[in-house]
Structure 1
Amino acid sequence: MNSTYLAATCTALTGPSSIRLVEQVVRPLQSGEVRIRVHAAGLNFPDLLMTQGKYQFRPDPPFVPGLEAAGEVIEVASDVHSVKPGDRVMAGGKGGALAEQWVVRAASVSPLPAALSFSEGACWQTAASTAWHALVERGHLQAGESVLVLGASGGVGMAAVKMAKHIGAMVIGTGSNEEKLQAIDQAGADHLLDPADEELAAKVKQLTDGKGVDVIYDPVGGDLALTATRAIAWNGRYLIIGFASGTIPAFPANHALIKAYSLIGVRAGESPRRDPQLARRQSMALSELAAQGAIRPQISHRFALTDLTKALAVLERREAIGRVVIEIDTSC
């Protein structure tokens, strides 16, 4: 094993332009850790936000971004028995995936299903866990209910469309251009709407026989969030995933009172860390979904590690349809 490896490093909180490829020294493993040779890493919007210092988790530079990856185990600590060198795996964490090697906790590592390639596996876990945790654990979405997915052409949005259809719900997805709407349609959405349509709320009500949607899945925030609340059903559940628009909405409390809907925060990563029983439940559900090849990610852009700045700019310009992946070595 080489004594050094390359890692894409954020050197200042000034956005993607601060990324530099930096040689890192391989450190000894500590108890419970696994070292992975990264073959592919999935980009997520929080990766972009972290380079700008705008995410909830705000590491100080220099740091290596990247929340998820797939690759091959090259070393395990002496007390790790769940995986072994040579295993093909997926992994998640708070950062560090955008590198040739990644050291993670063994509990964060799972087998790469035969149904998924390295690139698909690298893009699977964060979006799938967000969709599952939001719709199943927090939103209690049931077959036959309706859900409005805002930003449905993004990574977590498209995963939500597929997850909701897997559950058996009626899905309305929003997309800002024809290419994105086509992708949302192919992901399985029953109805497609333009988020800029002034009649968005009225059209959602028409599609739900005047009732409004049971669940709203919102990774966007901003003004669209307030528009969407006008389309929610009595006793509806509004799932707050994130703020890709860059603006945090201020929800009118009187409106939530009058329509008796719930505003529900979703922390798909933090919640299982705080609740071991939830972590086991989520792990089992995601393992089953992965083995089935469900919620297979759509990858619109592929980049080399050396082009990470360009890849993050794609996210910043909202050009991704589905997922963006950094491919380091997918030959194995």
Structure 2
Amino acid sequence: MRAVVGRKLGGIQDLRIEDIASSPLERGTIRISVRAAGVSFANLLFIAGKHQNRPSIPFVPGTEVGGVVSEIAPDVRTNLKIGDQVCAGLPSGGFAEDTVVDADNVFKIPDSLSFAGATLFPTIYATAYAGLKWRANLQPGETLLVHGAAGASGLAAVQIGRAMGARVIATAGGDHKLAAATEYGAHHAIDYQKEDFRDRVLAITDGRGADVVFDPVGGDVFDNSLRCVAPLGRLLPIGFASGRIPHIPANLVLVKNLTVIGLYWGFYMAWGKSKADAAMRGKVRTLFQEMFALYDGGQLRAPIERTLPLSEFGEALRCVERREVVGKIVLMP
């Protein structure tokens, strides 16, 4: 099969398209013929060896795919069958013509959902939904502040926050990105390049601040969020696209009764050493059913900016690196 292969840690320039053997079908796994593979900032961290999941050499990047079930291991008990259209989340291996995935992390998609759109659900929508519902317990009528709101993670949080009944404030850079955040459901959009989002958030909320902050950016953005979050507020650091992991001043957490809530979606998908139990697996499956129902109900729209052939993986990754993408860019093997 054709795949994007890295034979050392580094940058985009160190990846190559190669013909390699398909991965063996192991116990508890399903083989998927990949029709679409999502491209994300996490891929850049992965190929540089800076992600939580450090790759073995050689490696194939890619953590979110849409495709067709082509083979099921004999020990797998599942309602899925050969030919079903699915999405799947995996620690690596998505930038290829086929991939092998833990059966528990493969989900049948609605007929209305394209393969490209399906790539947003295994990690992007799932992270936003689990973060806002499970971890932050976002309530109707609360104010949600979403940073990086024109990226795939940000637009997912904007849509899910709106669907959960929150008032959504989005931050992004530039008119085009602000327009996208508004189009996908933000009640207020702030251009952080032109104004201090802290002051605007406080003005919008009559000085109270945001109840929940969804932050895939980190760095200075997280620092300033601490100063415009409401008492008893909850902050969700879900990534550090700025490149700086912030240090949290405990005095602010104390005096404002704040809760800082971690969320690593790979834990729920059992990508690391800690394996999710059966109850957690069931909870994850219910989450996907709820997300697909929101999609079919028109409350979620998978924002795909561009699709490119697998051979143009370099251009796709560079677009993400340059922060040019509004929504998602997807490779089509």
Shorter-chain TM band: over 0.9
Pair 1:309 & 2:308 matched: no
Residue number in structure 2 paired with 1:177: 174
Residue number in structure 2 paired with 1:167: 164
CA deviation map 1:207-229 (0-9, x unaligned): 11211000000000011111111
In the TM superposition, what is the alpha-carbon distance from 1:198 to its structure 2 partner? 4.7
Instruction: Give the Cα separation in 2 of the matches to 1:282 and 1:94.
Output: 16
Identity of paired residues, percent?
Answer: 40
Instruction: Give the Cα separation in 1 of the matches to 2:329 and 2:114.
Output: 14
Pair 1:22 & 2:6 matched: no
Give runs of aligned pairs for residues 272-287 of structure 1, distance below 5 A.
273=270, 274-276=275-277, 277-287=279-289
* Residue pair 2:236, 2:260 contacting (<8 A) in 1 also: yes
In the TM superposition, what is the alpha-carbon distance from 1:74 to its structure 2 partner? 1.2
Structure 2 residues without counterparts, runs of 5 or longer: none
Residue number in structure 2 paired with 1:247: 244
- Cα-Cα RMSD: 1.4
- The one-letter code sitting in structure 2 at the alignment partner of 1:87 is D
- The one-letter code sitting in structure 2 at the alignment partner of 1:285 is L
Mean CA deviation greater in 205-214 or 284-293: 284-293
Residue number in structure 1 paired with 2:118: 121
- The one-letter code sitting in structure 2 at the alignment partner of 1:132 is Y
Aligned residues, how many?
324
* Residue pair 1:115, 1:292 contacting (<8 A) in 2 also: no
Pair 1:110 & 2:107 matched: yes
Instruction: Give the Cα separation in 2 of the matches to 1:27 and 1:269.
Output: 21
Mean CA deviation greater in 101-110 or 18-27: 18-27
- The one-letter code sitting in structure 2 at the alignment partner of 1:167 is M
In the TM superposition, what is the alpha-carbon distance from 1:253 to its structure 2 partner? 1.4
Instruction: Give the Cα separation in 2 of the matches to 1:123 and 1:268.
Output: 13
Mean CA deviation greater in 72-81 or 129-138: 72-81
* Residue pair 1:15, 1:51 contacting (<8 A) in 2 also: yes
- The one-letter code sitting in structure 1 at the alignment partner of 2:64 is E
Instruction: Give the Cα separation in 2 of the matches to 1:58 and 1:88.
Output: 29
Mean CA deviation greater in 155-164 or 121-130: 121-130
Match of 1:12 among 8, 11, 21: 8
Residue number in structure 2 paired with 1:220: 217
* Residue pair 2:105, 2:269 contacting (<8 A) in 1 also: no
Residue number in structure 2 paired with 1:325: 330
Instruction: Give the Cα separation in 1 of the matches to 2:194 and 2:213.
Output: 17
Instruction: Give the Cα separation in 1 of the matches to 2:311 and 2:145.
Output: 37
Instruction: Give the Cα separation in 1 of the matches to 2:93 and 2:286.
Output: 25
- The one-letter code sitting in structure 2 at the alignment partner of 1:302 is T
Instruction: Give the Cα separation in 2 of the matches to 1:26 and 1:282.
Output: 28
In the TM superposition, what is the alpha-carbon distance from 1:288 to its structure 2 partner? 2.5
In the TM superposition, what is the alpha-carbon distance from 1:199 to its structure 2 partner? 2.8
* Residue pair 2:171, 2:197 contacting (<8 A) in 1 also: no
Instruction: Give the Cα separation in 2 of the matches to 1:272 and 1:22.
Output: 28
Cα distance change, pair 51–320 in 1 and its aligned pair in 2 (3 A): same
Structure 1 residues without counterparts, runs of 5 or longer: none
Instruction: Give the Cα separation in 2 of the matches to 1:301 and 1:262.
Output: 37
Instruction: Give the Cα separation in 1 of the matches to 2:93 and 2:100.
Output: 8
> SS of the counterpart of 1:278?
helix
TM-score by length of 1: 0.94
> SS of the counterpart of 2:19?
strand
In the TM superposition, what is the alpha-carbon distance from 1:56 to its structure 2 partner? 1.4
